């Protein structure tokens, strides 16, 4: 059974629950505030539609994990909404912090309605996420709910840690590869790990199995980010569907760039001299390949995928949802250009 067939009823259920969560703000006085959030979520306004909504990978991962423990995924929906709301709160704030004018092809909320509205909207999504996770208490034992909320909140703190590290690396040229891992662990892997941890907790898995699922989500997140870093230099625009602005231009401390800097050869000598110009991108990408950065990045993606696979084998997911989890990992690999 294909991922898409098994997931057919899941996607609309996620979307409906997210809309219900956000409708907490839909009253007479804050109607427009509510509309700003539904715009960001991709449901309303110019350019609304599937592309504007993003892939909802995190809630899907949580529900598939939950289902692969032999559980009915429907009662876990508020947790799925919670992780997606956390993801979106961080996107809204990241877009301000990175001065990004576009998100999923549309004007960002802060660019459309101003900086104060942008910050406040992110805060609202954060608060909505906190409320969503507590909704589990209508179906799950209170101890389980507290554990799920603890995992989610610890992840939110991890997100700010990762974001801080990312910012602190921006103006440094001596960032080591060793420093790369805790940054992406916080920025990317922690939330994916909390999806699989919470999904399996709510699925009734025992603690060692929860830990295997958590580990699967963690390595899936690392693999996903390293792959993203790969595509940020050698990505094929048509294949990824993104209009790529090379990471060489944005100054991002991605893994291939850190590799090049550590080699301290031709790439590094040029890089530390100051901003790269668009016409240099092609030659510098080739130089990075020549110095071994491409292979190194591919090897690291593969290593993370292997570790994710090992953890998933140990977790031993069952049924169609289990197959879908393997397929999700496979889809990640095939993103390679």
Q: Toward a copy of itself, which CB reaches closer, 60 or 165?
A: 165
Please state the closest distance from residue 111 (CB atom) to a copy of itself, in A.
14
Handedness of CA 44, 46, 50, 56 (dihedral sign): negative
Q: Toward a copy of itself, which CB reaches closer, 47 or 114?
A: 114
Q: Toward a copy of itself, which CB reaches closer, 64 or 201?
A: 201
Query: What distance in Å separates the CA atoms of residue 64 and residue 188, rounded to the nearest whole number?
Result: 19
Q: Toward a copy of itself, which CB reaches closer, 137 or 289?
A: 137
Query: What distance in Å separates the CA atoms of residue 73 and residue 63, rounded to the nearest whole number?
Result: 6
Query: What distance in Å separates the CA atoms of residue 86 and residue 132, rounded to the nearest whole number?
Result: 10
Q: Toward a copy of itself, which CB reaches closer, 47 or 142?
A: 142
Q: Toward a copy of itself, which CB reaches closer, 163 or 227?
A: 163
Please state the closest distance from residue 110 (CB atom) to a copy of itself, in A.
10
Please state the closest distance from residue 236 (CB atom) to a copy of itself, in A.
31
Please state the closest distance from residue 62 (CB atom) to a copy of itself, in A.
18
Phi/psi region, residue 251 (left: phi>0; alpha: psi -120 to 50; beta: rest), is: left
Please state the closest distance from residue 138 (CB atom) to a copy of itself, in A.
11
Please state the closest distance from residue 169 (CB atom) to a copy of itself, in A.
11
Q: CA separation (Å) from 333 to 117, 217, 283?
A: 38, 15, 26
Please state the closest distance from residue 38 (CB atom) to a copy of itself, in A.
14
Q: Toward a copy of itself, which CB reaches closer, 97 or 299?
A: 97
Burial (Cβ within 10 Å: 0-12, 13-18, ≥19) of residue 29? exposed
Question: Are the C-beta atoms of 73 and 10 separated by less than 8 Å?
Answer: yes
Cα 251 to its chain centre, rounded Å, is: 20
Strand partners for 102: 107
- Contacting residues toward a copy of itself, per CB under 8 A: 24-25, 29-30, 32-33, 90, 93, 96-98, 115-117, 119-124, 126-128, 130-131, 134, 137, 141-143, 145-146, 149-150, 153-154, 156-157, 159-161, 163-165, 167-168, 179, 182
Please state the closest distance from residue 186 (CB atom) to a copy of itself, in A.
9
Q: Toward a copy of itself, which CB reaches closer, 139 or 310?
A: 139
Tokens of 263: 């080699």
Please state the closest distance from residue 185 (CB atom) to a copy of itself, in A.
11
Cα 12 to its chain centre, rounded Å, is: 20
Tokens of 104: 């999923």
Q: Toward a copy of itself, which CB reaches closer, 68 or 188?
A: 188
């Amino acid at each position: 059974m294909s991922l898409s067939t098994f997931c057919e009823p899941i996607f609309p259920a996620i979307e409906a629950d997210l809309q219900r969560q956000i409708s907490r703000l839909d009253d007479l006085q804050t109607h427009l505030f509510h509309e700003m959030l539904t715009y960001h979520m991709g449901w309303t306004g110019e350019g609304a539609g599937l592309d504007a909504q993003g892939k909802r990978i995190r809630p899907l991962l949580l529900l598939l994990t939950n289902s692969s423990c032999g559980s009915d995924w429907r009662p876990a929906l508020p947790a799925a909404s919670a992780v997606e709301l956390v993801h979106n709160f961080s996107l809204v704030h990241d877009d301000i912090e990175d001065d990004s004018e576009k998100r999923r092809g549309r004007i960002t909320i802060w660019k459309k309605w101003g900086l104060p509205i942008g910050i406040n909207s992110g805060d609202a999504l954060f608060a909505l996420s906190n409320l969503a996770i507590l909704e589990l208490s209508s179906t799950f034992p209170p101890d389980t709910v507290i554990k799920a909320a603890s995992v989610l909140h610890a992840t939110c703190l991890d997100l700010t840690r990762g974001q801080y590290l990312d910012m602190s690396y921006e103006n440094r040229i001596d960032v080591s590869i060793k420093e790369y891992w805790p940054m992406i662990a916080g920025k990317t892997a922690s939330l994916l790990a909390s999806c699989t941890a919470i999904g399996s907790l709510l699925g009734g898995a025992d603690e060692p199995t929860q830990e295997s699922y958590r580990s699967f989500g963690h390595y899936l997140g690392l693999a996903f980010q390293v792959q993203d870093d790969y595509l940020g230099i050698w990505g094929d625009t048509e294949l990824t569907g993104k209009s790529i602005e090379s990471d060489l231009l944005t100054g991002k401390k991605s893994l291939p760039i850190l590799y090049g800097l550590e080699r301290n050869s031709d790439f590094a000598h040029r890089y530390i001299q100051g901003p790269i110009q668009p016409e240099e991108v092609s030659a510098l990408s080739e130089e990075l390949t020549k110095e071994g950065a491409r292979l190194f990045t591919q090897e690291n993606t593969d290593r993370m995928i292997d570790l994710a696979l090992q953890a998933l084998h140990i977790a031993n997911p069952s049924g169609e949802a289990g197959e879908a989890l393997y397929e999700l990992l496979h889809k990640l690999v095939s993103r390679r250009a």
